[in-house]
Amino acid sequence: MAAKLTRLHSLRERLGATFSSHPNELIALFSRYVRQGKGMLQRHQLLVEFDALFESDKEKYAPFEDILRAAQEAIVLPPWVALAIRPRTGVWDYIRVNVSDLAVEELTVSEYLAFKEQLVEEHASRKFVLELDFEPFNASAPRPSMSKSYGKGVQFLNRHSSSKLFQDKESLYPLLNFLKGHNYKGTTMILNDRIQSLRGVQSALRKAEEYLVSIPEDTPSSEFNHRFQELGLEKGWGDTAKRVHDTIHLLLDLLEAPDPASLEKFLGTIPMMFNVVILSPHGYFAQSNVLGYPDTGGQVVYILDQVRALENEMLLRIKQQGLDITPKILIVTRLLPDAVGTTCGQRLEKVIGTEHTDILRVPFRTENGIRKWISRFDVWQYLETYTEDVANELMREMQTKPDLIIGNYSDGNLVATLLAHKLGVTQCTIAHALEKTKYPNSDIYLDKFDSQYHFSCQFTADLIAMNHTDFIITSTFQEIAGSKDSVGQYESHIAFTLPDLYRVVHGIDVFDPKFNIVSPGADMTVYFPYTETDKRLTAFHSEIEELLYSDVENDEHKFVKKDRNKPIIFSMARLDRVKNMTGLVEMYGKNAHLKDLANLVIVAGDHGKESKDREEQAEFKRMYSLIEEYKLKGHIRWISAQMNRVRNGELYRYICDTKGAFVQPAFYEAFGLTVIEAMTCGLPTIATCHGGPAEIIVDGVSGLHIDPYHSDKAADILVNFFEKSTADPSYWDKISQGGLKRIYEKYTWKLYSERLMTLTGVYGFWKYVSNLERRETRRYLEMFYALKYRSLAAAVPLAVAGESSGNLRGFGACRGRIHRAGGRSVGCAMICLPSFPFGLSVVGCAILCLGTFVRSWAVLVAGSCQPPRINACPWCSSFIREFNA
């Protein structure tokens, strides 16, 4: 007899049953939540109260504890407590409990968000609110339902769709048309017009097969291309008889008995990608002397390593396809007139180690001229004009449309969206980091963040890009859907609210087959194990010893260590809040035993220049304060950001020689390129459990995890590591070798570039033959962009070309601006006559302005690396502009 199926009870029913069984106890628990007043509670806060109340009898309340552990947040608006419950990754339920009588209500996403909005708007639920919902557009689209399919979008898409596409002979015509439409700059590839039917294709392929088996396998395809053209077969099948035969055989098998694996292999074999555009507008993008500058870090390294591997793979495939085509890769970034000793002011720059890859720089432009450096948080009003300028520059450089556009980070992804939409080409999105995840509650408390970070623009741009793109690359599963205990970057965009702007009830589907995990690696010519002594760059050792141990304090290194025989805790990152370098210093300073066991060396910021970045300025102040508070002089070395990647590789290996460890303490790290670099050098790595490093590192095998939100426990993990390594040196070796093994298995640029090429072919094909173009969604996005994004971007203040020096009180205040930052920002001695206390004449103004001007150029001649920025009054500015010209 068949087993009887039982109905699964809803969350509301299960909670109701629990409340009925234990009403008094649960009223007591929820009363504790309500007593904390109106606000938000995170899961750990919910569990702290539960543990305090039921510690002695937890088994009795285990079902309810499971629900609390699945809750990601609670909204408290007495007498109501609403819970956002995540029973598994990508799946959410919402309930509301009345503490007075334990009445339980299930809420829709919209109802929950409306309730949440009352935290900041008392009468929010009464207003009409724009709701953003992409779910109806994807209702008929194929999607997996199992979490094991996350990040394997192309495999799922092939399995699901190939069966439909190849149901009968007629359904194969889209494939035929796709192959016939293949060309490069007007030159036909694969099939020509002699073939008009499927029968014609099969006949031509069989005739070609008969010929190929009669000639040597290594016969160059150039010797029989003309014969094949008469059959209807053009170049692109291969460079030798064997390779042409293999490709033809693959297509014949596909036409006879299609299967997903064969389809993917065939699409990865035929020529489809020759011109690639990679967008990364913000920060200082150059090949040297930029790492550590504001908004400039791992993304630059990622892209430079990416293009080298990608060009190699493109050249290899083009050769194997028997084509004589020169590929082109353009990295498009901003041109910065104020290049501060870098190449960021150079329009076109060849990427070292490549033959056909350039950095193309296009400035941000307004009707008032070219803009100087702008924080990544302030770029939004420039991007539409920038896209138009980029489109013109691309056509000038490539003379054709690109085959693939790759966006990076929020600004690059928005520009990629606009370009792909305009040009009709395949788009790939790489987020690197979605700021919504890095700044908790920055959506509901938007007012606290928006004036500084303009998240209303950024979150809107992210939603547009992730829904418009053809496919999304992530480095880890964590980026998509997090883990059992943490929400993924993209998952956090499923539902959220921006009070007074709009409410997102379905922003992204983490089950969407557009998601693909393609993990990068480190450049193994730069980063290699410390044990490869014949490759070690010992010429750098004297410089590295100077960095680490010199008794001199200067702009490159601060503070002197007392005991150079201790192992080193090493960390290197941008100096911002999320990277949490100050948190590492505080954790170290609080633990006396850790200070006895190891020295701390951090590489972050730049002591030699005044930062333009708001967060970096704040972190500088906090760092100095912590070093004083915990009396860390003698234990710590603070080194300015290091621009030389090659020397940095040897620096990692030098830390290995001290039997030290690399620590990555970020509150959230989307991937963790420095983690990969350190592990590739054999340096044991201890990294945050929030984000990509939790996936890169197998805890206790290839490294260790720490939770930066629990710094005392994190410090204990470090203490335990160094104690074990001292007592048993083989433990240090075990973690080092475990890290290397993990890298070789999963994190190399060769694997990355192969996968990216295949993805481009597969998504390009499905976009052609199916509705993956998602026209309905894109029309919806056009409206959202025009009616919402544009108005938000217009509200972001345009950056000022030079600092305004108006309304200063008196000559002394103005003179205080002169020669600020080493003579590179020079104030005008005269501001505007009405506000100047001495009532100087225009002639006096000119004298003082020109005095400032002459002094500033004297600074330049004496050794300043660039012309100073002069904030003169309008009358004198015209003279200075003429002089500079």
Checking if the pLDDT of 805 tops 70, the result is: no
- What is the tens place of the pLDDT at every residue in 250-283? 999 888 877 888 888 899 899 999 999 999 999 9
- What is the tens place of the pLDDT at every residue in 538-587? 999 999 999 999 999 998 999 998 899 999 999 999 899 999 999 999 99
Looking at per-residue confidence, does 257 or 218 come out higher? Answer: 218
Highest mean pLDDT among 219-228, 256-265, 610-619: 219-228
Q: In CATH, which superfamily holds the domain spanning 533-571+591-612+631-749?
A: Glycogen Phosphorylase B; (3.40.50.2000)
Give dist(CA 772, CA 757) in Å, integer: 18
pLDDT band at 124 (very low <50, low <70, confident <90, very high): low
**pLDDT score, position 169:** 67
Tell me the fold of 153-269: Four Helix Bundle (Hemerythrin (Met), subunit A) (1.20.120)
List C-alpha distances in Å: 537 to 526, 528, 529, 682. 10, 11, 12, 15
- What is the tens place of the pLDDT at every residue in 40-68? 999 989 999 988 888 777 777 777 888 88
Give dist(CA 712, CA 99) in Å, integer: 35
pLDDT band at 771 (very low <50, low <70, confident <90, very high): low
Give dist(CA 616, CA 605) in Å, integer: 7
In the numeric block, the tokens 């141990």 are attached to 549
Q: Where in the chain is the domain with CATH 3.10.450.330?
A: 11-129
**pLDDT score, position 832:** 32
Q: How many CB atoms lie within 10 A of CB 614?
A: 14
**pLDDT score, position 147:** 66
**pLDDT score, position 438:** 86
Give dist(CA 111, CA 488) in Å, integer: 23
Q: Where in the chain is the domain with CATH 3.40.50.2000?
A: 275-329+337-357+364-502+770-794, 533-571+591-612+631-749
Q: Where in the chain is the domain with CATH 1.20.120.1230?
A: 153-269
E-assigned strand segments in 593-682: 599-603, 636-639, 661-664
Checking if the pLDDT of 846 tops 50, the result is: no
> What single-letter amino acid sits at 769?
V
Q: In terms of DSSP H, where are the helices of 80-197?
A: 109-117, 153-165, 173-180
Helix (H, G, I), strand (E, B) or coil at 322: coil
Contact 487, 72 (CB under 8 A): yes
- What is the tens place of the pLDDT at every residue in 92-106? 999 999 998 888 899
| Phi, psi angles (nearest 5°) of residue 670 | -60, -45
Contact 391, 365 (CB under 8 A): no
Checking if the pLDDT of 739 tops 70, the result is: yes
Give dist(CA 672, CA 353) in Å, integer: 24
Going by C-alpha positions, the residue among 426, 414, 521, 515 that lies closest to residue 463 is 414
Contact 491, 274 (CB under 8 A): no
**pLDDT score, position 885:** 35
- What is the tens place of the pLDDT at every residue in 687-712? 999 888 999 999 999 999 999 999 99
- What residues form DSSP beta bridges with 516? 152, 473
**pLDDT score, position 128:** 86
Give dist(CA 123, CA 238) in Å, integer: 68
Contact 557, 640 (CB under 8 A): yes
Contact 137, 776 (CB under 8 A): yes
Checking if the pLDDT of 879 tops 70, the result is: no
Q: How many CB atoms lie within 10 A of CB 479?
A: 30
DSSP 537: -
* CATH 3.40.50.12240 for the 275-329+337-357+364-502+770-794 domain, yes or no: no
State the virtual CA torsion across 106, 107, 112, 115 in degrees, nearest 10: -80
Lowest pLDDT segment from 29-33, 164-168, 735-739: 164-168
Instruction: Report yes or no on whether pTM surpasses 0.85.
Output: no
Mean pLDDT (the chain, rounded)? 85
Checking if the pLDDT of 3 tops 80, the result is: no
Give dist(CA 261, CA 270) in Å, integer: 15
Contact 849, 876 (CB under 8 A): yes
List C-alpha distances in Å: 835 to 605, 809, 830, 845, 846. 38, 7, 10, 13, 16
Task: State the Rg of the chain over Cα.
Answer: 30
Give dist(CA 666, CA 674) in Å, integer: 12
Give dist(CA 421, CA 454) in Å, integer: 25
E strand or H helix at 473, and its extent? strand 471-474
- What is the tens place of the pLDDT at every residue in 638-657? 999 998 989 999 999 999 99
Give dist(CA 822, CA 370) in Å, integer: 24
Contact 826, 819 (CB under 8 A): yes
Contact 40, 75 (CB under 8 A): yes
C-alpha torsion sign, points 455, 461, 463, 469: negative
C-alpha torsion sign, points 449, 451, 457, 458: negative
Tell me the fold of 11-129: Nuclear Transport Factor 2; Chain: A, (3.10.450)
> What single-letter amino acid sits at 19?
F
Give dist(CA 236, CA 183) in Å, integer: 10
E strand or H helix at 269, and its extent? helix 260-269
Looking at per-residue confidence, does 868 or 609 come out higher? Answer: 609
- What is the tens place of the pLDDT at every residue in 728-737? 999 999 999 9
Contact 12, 106 (CB under 8 A): yes
Length of the chain: 885
Contact 562, 631 (CB under 8 A): no
**pLDDT score, position 23:** 82
